[in-house]
Structure 1
Amino acid sequence: MNRRGFVGAAGAAAGLGMLSGPAAALGRQPLLARVILDNDFAGDPDGLFQLAHHVLCRAVSIPLIIGSHLPAAFASGHDARDSANRAQELLRIMGLDRVHQPIAGAEAPIASRQAWTPSQASKAIVQEAMRADVHEPLFYAAGAGLTDLALAWLSEPRIGRRIKLLWIGGNTHPGHGNPGATPSEPEFNFSIDPVAAQVLFNESDIEIWQVPSNAYSQMLFSTAELAELGASGPLGAYLQAKVDAVPAMFASIPGVPPVPASDAYVLGDSPLVTLSALVPPMQPDTTSCRYVVMPKPLLQADGRYVARPDGRLMRVYTQIDAGLTFRDMLARFRLHGLGRL
């Protein structure tokens, strides 16, 4: 697979500025990338940690933040609006609500390959992807379903060569998980909109960097670290409260078993920050993480993969640098609380 288009002098300058100069100096240097954020911020709170971390990274710009819907089985009909509102609530606590204005994505999954309607969010995605006045590569960082990106590509297939998908989702690929880790059911983020995922895997020419379930489940953040974060100020207290509320949230969903006590929580959406922003300066690629390159498989309606040797190449991440990710996250939260970021 070819190295990312941003490998070169512009990316190196952005990385060097991030490491050796004040944050304000980056405004005079090319940025590493543009990153559209798409997540179910009103669902599992790991997306809120990712959002708070991402907006404090100075090597990337964030032109769009999209709140997305939950699976139809327990959707409210206004999940996307709730997600956008939850993101705005977090940004308000951080004092960044005038910098970013999240928008709501589609409120339901794509009904079928033949029955789809563009959303306001998908129109905004197309507009950003087709811009001719910017040169930074465009990432689409998705921590939940893929409805709005699929709608955008169906509306305007030309965006395929102009956008890269980073997706937290999908079952473990055969041979790349722990022994015996064969999926017995569709992975959660895939199940949010199977048709959208199939469109992007099976039809689109969008380059995919996938972080499947065996990789994102490595992102363990201890409850002791969470308690320290919660005592650090308003942002930390807000994030801890959202994690503390998870058992009650799951208890309200019919058929979901009780959440057992644990000393760790999976911040599974945080690799979106790692892969888009936390890269070395001289050769800005995800060198601290591990991935395999494979042809895009055919994605089945139940989430299984069927090998397709002639498929476009994609990255499948097998290991994420959790240490770097969480050290950087906590440092940025501390600096933000001190007014230095």
Structure 2
Amino acid sequence: MPLMQNWARRRVLGGLGLTCGAALAPWQQAALAAITPRQRIIIDNDLGGDPDGLFQLAHHLASPSVEIALIVGSHLHEKEPFDGSAQQAQHAAERAQELAGLMRLDHVPPIVAGREKALGPDRAGWTSPASQRIVAEALKADSHRPLFYAAGASLTELAAAHRLDPRIGKLLKLAWIGGMEHPELNPGVPARTDPEYNTTIDITAARYIFNESDIEIWQVPRDTYRRVLISHAELEQGLAPAGRLGAFLLAQVDRIGTLAGGAGLNIGETYILGDSPLVTLTALQSSFEADSSSSDYVVKPTPSIDDKGAYVPGSGGRPMRVYRSIDTRLTFADMFAKLARSKAAA
């Protein structure tokens, strides 16, 4: 049976007893209305590249405990296989608009495109419209709700924004998917020495944030985000009740499989949704004493980064969190439940 016909038969939202796409009962509407934002979020991701960012964005947009203040579409490496054009950031912003339209949101957050290339080491021309918007958001008076900068790719725009107005360093926390492993946290595991992908998109920006800024960092390094792994069978089943939205997201994963196959790479039957921890660490914090209590982390001095993306031995500065594991059960179960009740599931 064709996949979409099969999906049409799966319309019940598990334990909630909800018909997919149907209006919520009054008690359900009241329960959702009681959940109000606890954090403000600026999302920055390369949404024209690896589709894990689209899953993260959809999940964040469906989460009532956060207010999405701004979405920044960011660039990739030059001549990237995902998008080899010179308009990568613009394409990322367009993908965000497409996803928001598909979800039929009552309110679409502001969406802007960032710079189209990495920052220059001479620091000339760093300021951009996106970095100016970030500064404006950070300086808004909102002492009751912390501001998180949720970045799933490069740190280009955040570095530019901090240099434009360093006051923002004390006004937000950076949750970042990126950076190499910390060998001391995994003794006995062979250390990788190759640079990490998101770091290398803009090494100048990463070095600025780690080495020179005063921004508190919640880091999900490579060995941790690579374990946010889900099977294709789980994606098929979990996205089925999400209708058009589920079909769209699954198609993005299948597109990458086809692209990889054309290059002679068989990616198997799993996919890394490596940007999803951005939702876990912000929207899915614990109820009392709000924190990312279900995911394991250590606090250590923020290291410096060299021009290859590696940590500088012996360096250390302000405290940072390094997440050693992410609660994938909470992350994936919540994502599938929220996407299933979205308007796009009708």
> In which range does the TM-score fall when normalised by the shorter chain?
0.7 to 0.9
Code of the residue aligned with 1:202 in structure 2: it is: N
- Does the CA-based 8 Å contact 2:239-2:339 persist in structure 1? no
Provide the C-alpha distance between the structure 2 equivalents of 1:134 and 1:105, rounded to a whole number of angstroms.
27
Q: Does 1:84 align with 2:90?
A: no
Which of 39, 43, 51 is the matching residue for 1:45? Answer: 51
Which of 264, 268, 271 is the matching residue for 1:265? Answer: 271
Which of 239, 244, 253 is the matching residue for 2:254? Answer: 244
Q: Secondary structure at the match of 1:158?
A: helix
Provide the C-alpha distance between the structure 2 equivalents of 1:266 and 1:53, rounded to a whole number of angstroms.
15
Q: Does 1:235 align with 2:241?
A: no
Provide the C-alpha distance between the structure 1 equivalents of 2:339 and 2:223, rounded to a whole number of angstroms.
27
Provide the C-alpha distance between the structure 2 equivalents of 1:282 and 1:271, rounded to a whole number of angstroms.
20
Aligned to 2:33: 24
Kindly report which structure 2 residues correspond to 1:6-17, keeping only aligned pairs within 5 A, or say none. Answer: none
Aligned to 1:226: 235
**Structure 2 vs 1, CA of residues 170 and 336 (structure 1 numbering), >3 Å: closer, same or farther?**
same
Aligned to 1:8: none
**Structure 2 vs 1, CA of residues 198 and 327 (structure 1 numbering), >3 Å: closer, same or farther?**
same
Question: TM-score scaled to structure 1, two decimals?
Answer: 0.87
5+ residue gaps, structure 1, are 1-18
- CA deviation string 1:195-254 (max 9, x = no partner): 0000000000000000000110111111101122453310110000000000343467xx
Which of 106, 114, 120 is the matching residue for 2:129? Answer: 120
Aligned to 2:20: none
- Does the CA-based 8 Å contact 2:304-2:316 persist in structure 1? no
Provide the C-alpha distance between the structure 1 equivalents of 2:188 and 2:96, rounded to a whole number of angstroms.
37
- CA deviation string 1:257-295 (max 9, x = no partner): 633141211000000000001121111111111111111
- Does the CA-based 8 Å contact 1:186-1:303 persist in structure 2? yes
Which of 93, 101, 107 is the matching residue for 2:116? Answer: 107
5+ residue gaps, structure 2, are 1-27
Kindly report which structure 2 residues correspond to 1:52-91, keeping only aligned pairs within 5 A, or say none. Answer: 52-74=58-80, 75-91=84-100
**Which ranges of 4 or more aligned residues in structure 1 deviate by more than 4 Å?**
337-340
Code of the residue aligned with 2:205 in structure 1: it is: A
Q: Secondary structure at the match of 2:86?
A: coil
1:141 offset after TM fit, Å?
0.1
**Structure 2 vs 1, CA of residues 338 and 235 (structure 1 numbering), >3 Å: closer, same or farther?**
closer
Question: TM-score scaled to structure 2, two decimals?
Answer: 0.86
Greater gyration radius? 2
Aligned to 2:14: none
How many residues align? The count is: 315
% same residue: 47
Code of the residue aligned with 1:327 in structure 2: it is: A
**Structure 2 vs 1, CA of residues 183 and 94 (structure 1 numbering), >3 Å: closer, same or farther?**
same
- Does the CA-based 8 Å contact 2:239-2:336 persist in structure 1? no
**Structure 2 vs 1, CA of residues 247 and 32 (structure 1 numbering), >3 Å: closer, same or farther?**
same
Provide the C-alpha distance between the structure 2 equivalents of 1:339 and 1:22, rounded to a whole number of angstroms.
20
- Does the CA-based 8 Å contact 1:247-1:258 persist in structure 2? no
- CA deviation string 1:289-326 (max 9, x = no partner): 11111111111111110144551110000100011100
**Structure 2 vs 1, CA of residues 295 and 20 (structure 1 numbering), >3 Å: closer, same or farther?**
farther
Q: Secondary structure at the match of 1:62?
A: strand
**Structure 2 vs 1, CA of residues 181 and 122 (structure 1 numbering), >3 Å: closer, same or farther?**
farther
Question: What value does the CA root-mean-square deviation take over the aligned residues?
Answer: 2.2
Aligned to 1:96: 105
- Does the CA-based 8 Å contact 1:69-1:79 persist in structure 2? yes
1:25 offset after TM fit, Å?
2.5
Q: Does 1:35 align with 2:41?
A: yes
Provide the C-alpha distance between the structure 1 equivalents of 2:226 and 2:255, rounded to a whole number of angstroms.
20
Which of 264, 289, 303 is the matching residue for 1:297? Answer: 303
1:135 offset after TM fit, Å?
3.2
1:175 offset after TM fit, Å?
2.1
- Does the CA-based 8 Å contact 1:67-1:81 persist in structure 2? yes
Which of 172, 191, 194 is the matching residue for 1:163? Answer: 172
Kindly report which structure 2 residues correspond to 1:286-325, keeping only aligned pairs within 5 A, or say none. Answer: 286-308=292-314, 310-325=316-331
Provide the C-alpha distance between the structure 2 equivalents of 1:197 and 1:310, rounded to a whole number of angstroms.
15
Code of the residue aligned with 2:46 in structure 1: it is: D
Code of the residue aligned with 1:151 in structure 2: it is: A
Provide the C-alpha distance between the structure 1 equivalents of 2:167 and 2:277, rounded to a whole number of angstroms.
27
Aligned to 1:331: 337
Provide the C-alpha distance between the structure 1 equivalents of 2:251 and 2:303, rounded to a whole number of angstroms.
39
- Does the CA-based 8 Å contact 1:43-1:70 persist in structure 2? yes
